[in-house]
Amino acid sequence: MKREPQSNSTKERILAWLKRWGSKLWQVTRQLWHRFKQVMGKFWHRYQLTRWIIVVFLSLFLIMSIHLTFIAKTSNVENLQNRLSRPTMIYDNKKQSAGSLYSQKGTYVKLNNISANVPDAVLSTEDRNFYHEHGFSVKGLGRAAFLLVKNKLLHRNYISGGGSTITQQLVKNAFLTQQQTFSRKAREIFIAIEVENQYSKNDILTMYLNNAYFGHGVWGIQDAARRYFDVNASQLTVPQAATLAGMLTSPGMYDPIEHPAATRARRNMVLQLMVENHKLTQSAANQYKKTSLGVNQGYIDNDSYKYPYFFDEVISEAASRYHISEKSIMNDGYKIYTTLDQGQQKSMQATYANDNNFPANSADGTKVQSASIALDPKTGGVTAVVGGRGKHVFRGFNRATQMRRQPGSTIKPIVVYAPALEHGYFYDSTLQDKKRSYGTNNYTPKNYDDTYSGSVPMYKALYESLNAPAVWLLNKIGVDQGYKIAEKFGLPVEKGDKNLALALGGMTKGVSPQQIARAYATFDNDGQMPSPYYITKIVDASGKVVAQNKGGKVKHVISSKTAREMTSMLIGVYAHGTGETAKPANYTLAGKTGTTNSGVKGDESNDRDKWIVGYTPDVVVATWEGYDDTNSSHVLNDISEHNINGLFKQEMTGILQTTPGTKFTVEDAQTRANKRLKGGSSGWKSLFKDKGDLVDRFNQSVNDIGDKAEKLIDGFRALF
């Protein structure tokens, strides 16, 4: 007789135990759940939670609706047609048209100038119920809601299309971003309703067709018709209209030039949709499906961005100072009045377009770069700007405003000579011109030709751009004085720049041509430094002034007497100094040249940067030349056939012809000094000559005595 395995009885006992305890656990759970329902029911009934949930839900819905309605009502919908139907226009300082801006706008045409085949094809494809809905589609919203739930379950935080009517698509392009989120979709619906309240269906359809994108940088049905078929929008045939309507979903995928097969298949699908929408018979559609695309390029881009670097700065200033976005400023039909002088801008651009005005390219073909800016010294209004050579990149790097390079000797008038005049020195003060070392690090500045005269009058040290006297003078008046006045002039100096090398342009960050031009405008404006600006007024498409800048905001930096004395000395730079070959014929200029060493090891003879600044009472111009990246293969020859002086002469000749030709009221410092010497004035008598200021001449005499005493002491020390 066989016995049952003991393992089976053990298994049965375990199962029976689990059943017993499972039953007890289920009974306990049911009792607890029943008790919870009783307590929760009493609590729910006592505090009427159903009503509160409904109230909270309706309150949230009401708040959201109020918020979205507010957004819709404040979106300036009533101005939409004006914004879309005209480009943003730029006007110069004489209120003459200078060009236009638009990035998402083409030639605007009215609906009666668009072939009826276009609305038939577009509405059959995009929105068949367009004339029977009020801005949004309930079916479309249901589809969008389904996709939202699906994407949330799949942890995707976006909406995968669906739900957009023609009006919503117009709103998305005109008011919103392309970001696909629930909040954007909600704003789109409410603004679309407001658009429907403000405009007729035909107006909305017209705006949509003129604001649609058709690839290759082409916006609007008129330019698309020209771009792909070389006809006007009014002449588009059924298959041509179907082709363009098919592109709206994806201009890149259904591009008749790049992807003809896919485009033809899409066109034929649109033709079939037109049949379904009763806009075309099946037999006609079948005939049209057999035709070729017939692409024929006839579009010519309207190059109204005539002054690219200036227009770039206008857009930047509108964004930074007036908080108008690039998209808005480019597309919303503003009128922007600026400080632009078209004559000066054209002249400057013509100078830069001529490669003969620049040194030859390096061996590897790299261009020598350059940048220039011109501004009104009284107001700070920029009249012309070029930010580089070669092909312009929209809102790319502008060397005239964004570059930072060491200014070389152009900084001497700012941090050395102007503060010296402010502290008692005079234009013909005697400066020491010797090779000497300073400080514990034995800083030893050298003149460009390493020759020294022992002493030199200040005006000559300036126009010959001598380094030794400049450093000696900064040491005399104190580095702190030079550093403080550099800050007053708006130069971006840092604590590490507080040393004698500042006299020769030694700066951590460097400066831009615009910053240098602004500083020199101070000498040209009786010691008052203006703030550069480009925009004088912005008017929106409805005619409302949304921004205004009358200019004239100035900062007192130095005395008017010091400014005049500086101009007197700076005239010498072009009369008989380092800028003599840059002087345009029949004009008197004041200003300064400057260079910086290449910094390449073993190459002391060539330069990294070349600067030149020149001004008249009417205009200040600052120009820089150099390579973007300086190395052993990319340096500027110290002597070049096409140097910066030649460039500046050509540039200034054209610019000055557009100005009134106002003359300086001060005379060249060297001429003044020669007249004074010929008149026999010297020593204490000079206190009362040359329209002399008693205090100035007294300070000058004290300084001269101090200098002579220092020489005697140095000589005495030399004996030991």
The amino acid present at 278, given as its one-letter code, is H
Name which of 591, 668, 653 is nearest 622 in CA terms.
591
The pLDDT score that the predictor gives to residue 709 is 57
The pLDDT score that the predictor gives to residue 224 is 93
Is it the case that residue 698 has pLDDT exceeding 70?
A: no
The pLDDT score that the predictor gives to residue 161 is 45
User: Which run of H or of E encompasses 538?
Assistant: strand 535-539
Pair 592, 613: CB distance under 8 Å: yes
The amino acid present at 622, given as its one-letter code, is A
- DSSP structural state of residue 251: T
Give CA separation, 545 vs 323, 335, 337, 340, 538, in Å: 14, 9, 11, 19, 6
Of residues 474 and 172, the one with the higher pLDDT is: 474
The pLDDT score that the predictor gives to residue 700 is 54
Name which of 334, 333, 263 is nearest 294 in CA terms.
263
The pLDDT score that the predictor gives to residue 13 is 79
pTM value is 0.79
At residue 8, the 3 state secondary structure works out as helix
At residue 76, the 3 state secondary structure works out as coil
pLDDT band at 690 (very low <50, low <70, confident <90, very high): very low
The pLDDT score that the predictor gives to residue 299 is 76
Among residues 75, 115, 126, 188, which one is catalytic? 126
The pLDDT score that the predictor gives to residue 141 is 61
Is it the case that residue 695 has pLDDT exceeding 60?
A: no
pLDDT band at 340 (very low <50, low <70, confident <90, very high): very high
Is it the case that residue 508 has pLDDT exceeding 80?
A: yes
If you write DSSP's letter for every residue of 508-522 in order, what string do you get?
SS-B-HHHHHHHHHH
Among residues 75, 409, 465, 568, which one is catalytic? 409
pLDDT band at 60 (very low <50, low <70, confident <90, very high): confident
State pLDDT tens for residues 369-416: 999 999 999 999 999 999 999 999 889 999 999 999 999 999 999 999
What average pLDDT does range 74-96 have in this prediction?
A: 85
Q: Lowest-confidence range among 238-247, 364-373, 392-401, 711-720?
A: 711-720
The pLDDT score that the predictor gives to residue 179 is 61
Is it the case that residue 461 has pLDDT exceeding 60?
A: yes
* C-alpha to C-alpha distance for 443 and 441, rounded to whole angstroms: 6
The pLDDT score that the predictor gives to residue 27 is 83
Q: Interior CA angle at 473 toward 470 and 477, to 5°?
A: 140
The contacts of residue 278 (CB under 8 Å, 6+ apart) are: none
What average pLDDT does range 207-221 have in this prediction?
A: 89
State pLDDT tens for residues 300-318: 777 788 999 999 999 999 9
pLDDT band at 159 (very low <50, low <70, confident <90, very high): very low
The pLDDT score that the predictor gives to residue 146 is 63
What average pLDDT does range 52-58 have in this prediction?
A: 79
The pLDDT score that the predictor gives to residue 688 is 41
The pLDDT score that the predictor gives to residue 363 is 87
CB atoms within 10 A of CB 186: 15
Structure tokens at 410: 């152009």
What average pLDDT does range 680-692 have in this prediction?
A: 44
Could you tell me the strand order of the sheet in which 382-386 lies? 382-386, 369-375, 620-626, 607-615, 590-597
What average pLDDT does range 686-707 have in this prediction?
A: 49
Q: What percent of the chain has pLDDT over 70?
A: 86
- Which residues share a beta bridge with 607? 597, 636
Is it the case that residue 696 has pLDDT exceeding 70?
A: no
Burial class (CB in 10 A: 0-12, 13-18, 19+), 38: exposed
Q: Is 455 an annotated catalytic residue?
A: no
Q: Which region holds residue 106: left if phi is over 0, alpha if psi is between -120 and 50, else beta?
A: beta
Averaged confidence pLDDT in the chain: 86
Pair 160, 180: CB distance under 8 Å: yes
User: Which run of H or of E encompasses 370?
Assistant: strand 369-375
The pLDDT score that the predictor gives to residue 691 is 45
- Which residues share a beta bridge with 369? 626
The pLDDT score that the predictor gives to residue 59 is 77
Parallel, antiparallel or unpaired: strands 528-530 and 554-556: antiparallel
At residue 145, the 3 state secondary structure works out as helix
Pair 151, 158: CB distance under 8 Å: yes
Of residues 159 and 319, the one with the higher pLDDT is: 319
* C-alpha to C-alpha distance for 663 and 600, rounded to whole angstroms: 43
Structure tokens at 246: 């098919």
Structure tokens at 76: 């300036």
Q: Is 605 an annotated catalytic residue?
A: no
Of residues 3 and 10, the one with the higher pLDDT is: 10
If you write DSSP's letter for every residue of 282-300 in order, what string do you get?
HHHHHHHHTS---------
How do the residues of the chain divide into helix, strand and coil, expressed in percent and rounded to 5? 50, 10, 40
What average pLDDT does range 24-28 have in this prediction?
A: 82
Is it the case that residue 454 has pLDDT exceeding 60?
A: yes
